[in-house]
Amino acid sequence: MAREGAACYPSSPGQLELGRKLVAELQAIGLADARVDSFGIVLATIPATLPNAKSVIALNSHLDTSPETTAVGVNPQVIRDYPGGDILLPGGAGGVIRTMENPELAALRGQTIITTDGTTLLGADDKAGVAVIMETAAWLVEHPEIPHGPIRICFTCDEEIGHGVDHVDRAQLAAVVGYTLDGQGANEIDVETFSADLVVVRVCGVNIHPSIAKGRMINALRVAGDFLSRLPRATLAPETTAGREGFLHPYALEGGVAEATLRVLLRDFETARLDELAGLLARVAAECERDHPGARIELCRHAQYRNMRAGLLAEPRAVAYAEEALRRLGRTPVRTIVRGGTDGSRLTEIGLPTPNLSVGQHNPHSPLEWACLEEMVAAGEMLIELAQVWAESGQA
Q: pLDDT tens for residues 288-308? A: 999 999 999 999 999 999 999
Instruction: Read off the pLDDT of each residue in 15-32 and give the average, rounded to a whole number.
Output: 97
- What would be the CATH architecture of the domain defined by 13-193+307-392? 3-Layer(aba) Sandwich (3.40)
Start-end ranges of CATH 3.40.630.10 in the chain? 13-193+307-392
Instruction: Read off the pLDDT of each residue in 161-178 and give the average, rounded to a whole number.
Output: 91
Q: How far apart are CA 313 and CA 143, in angstroms?
A: 33
Q: Sign (positive/negative) of CA torsion 125, 130, 135, 140?
A: positive
Q: How far apart are CA 220 and CA 242, in angstroms?
A: 33
Q: How far apart are CA 301 and CA 316, in angstroms?
A: 32
Distances (CA, A) of 361 to 179, 210, 228, 335: 16, 51, 32, 17
Taking Cα atoms as reference points, which of 200, 206, 250 lies closest to residue 225?
A: 250
Confidence grade of residue 49 (pLDDT, cut at 50, 70, 90): very high
Confidence grade of residue 245 (pLDDT, cut at 50, 70, 90): very high
Question: What phi, psi does 108 have (nearest 5°)?
Answer: -115, 20
- Whether the CB-CB separation of 156 and 168 falls below 8 Å is answered with yes
Q: What angle do CA 107, 109, 115 make, to 5 degrees?
A: 100
Per the DSSP assignment, residues forming a β-bridge with 151 are 46, 57
pLDDT reported for residue 324 = 98
159 tagged catalytic: yes
- Whether the CB-CB separation of 157 and 63 falls below 8 Å is answered with yes
The rounded mean pLDDT for the chain is 95
Taking Cα atoms as reference points, which of 368, 123, 161 lies closest to residue 265?
A: 161
| Active-site entry in 64, 126, 158, 182 | 64
Question: Can you spell out the DSSP letters for 212-237?
Answer: G-TTT-B-HHHHHHHHHHTS-SSSSS
User: What share of the chain in percent tops pLDDT 70?
Assistant: 99
| Active-site entry in 117, 125, 158, 159 | 159
Q: Render pLDDT for 81-123 as a digit per residue (tens, 0 to 9).
A: 999 999 999 988 789 999 999 999 999 999 999 999 999 999 9
Question: Can you spell out the DSSP letters for 319-357?
Answer: HHHHHHHHHHTT---EEEEESS--HHHHHHHTT----EE
Instruction: Read off the pLDDT of each residue in 118-145 and give the average, rounded to a whole number.
Output: 97
- Whether the CB-CB separation of 329 and 187 falls below 8 Å is answered with no
Instruction: Read off the pLDDT of each residue in 224-251 and give the average, rounded to a whole number.
Output: 96
Residue 91 or residue 27, greater confidence: 27
The widest CA-to-CA distance across the chain, in whole angstroms, is 82
- Whether the CB-CB separation of 47 and 393 falls below 8 Å is answered with no
Least confident interval from 20-29, 46-55, 334-343, 355-364: 46-55
User: What share of the chain in percent tops pLDDT 90?
Assistant: 91
Confidence grade of residue 394 (pLDDT, cut at 50, 70, 90): low
- Whether the CB-CB separation of 105 and 84 falls below 8 Å is answered with yes
- What would be the CATH architecture of the domain defined by 195-304? 2-Layer Sandwich (3.30)
pTM, two decimals, is 0.90
pLDDT reported for residue 286 = 98
Amino acid at 46: I
Other CB atoms within 10 Å distance of the CB of residue 341: 24
On the 0-12 / 13-18 / 19+ scale of CB atoms within 10 A, 3 is middle
Confidence grade of residue 5 (pLDDT, cut at 50, 70, 90): confident
Helix (H, G, I), strand (E, B) or coil at 139: helix
Q: Which residues contact 48 (CB under 8 A, 6 or more apart)?
A: 148, 149, 150, 396
Taking Cα atoms as reference points, which of 169, 177, 141, 158 lies closest to residue 59?
A: 177
Q: Which residues contact 177 (CB under 8 A, 6 or more apart)?
A: 57, 58, 315, 317, 318, 352, 353, 354
